[in-house]
Amino acid sequence: MKLGIAYREQRKNYLKQYCPMVYDRLLMVRKLDDHLWKIDNLITELMNNFRLAVEEAVLREIVYQR
């Protein structure tokens, strides 16, 4: 998913810039990719939940307007 890739890259860049020790540690123990996949899954789930909530709110608004 393109959205997840964007967030993975943002997270990776954030870690490099603001938490270099964490980034280096994750890289050294070969857990950086796992961490970034978790971020991807979390963001995907949050965005799906947000989308469903918005759709539900719009449908509710349509139904109660009549």
Q: At residue 4, does pLDDT exceed 60?
A: no
- The mean pLDDT of the chain is 90
Percent of the chain surpassing pLDDT 70: 91
**What type of residue sits at position 35?**
H
Q: Which domain holds residue 24?
A: 2-65
Q: Give the count of alpha carbons within 13 A of 42, CB side only.
A: 9
User: What mean pLDDT is predicted for residues 16-40?
Assistant: 95
Give the total number of structural domains in the chain.
Answer: 1
Residue that is written with structure tokens 């961490």 in the block: 35
Confidence of residue 27 (pLDDT cuts 50, 70, 90): very high
pTM here?
A: 0.70
pLDDT at 25: 97
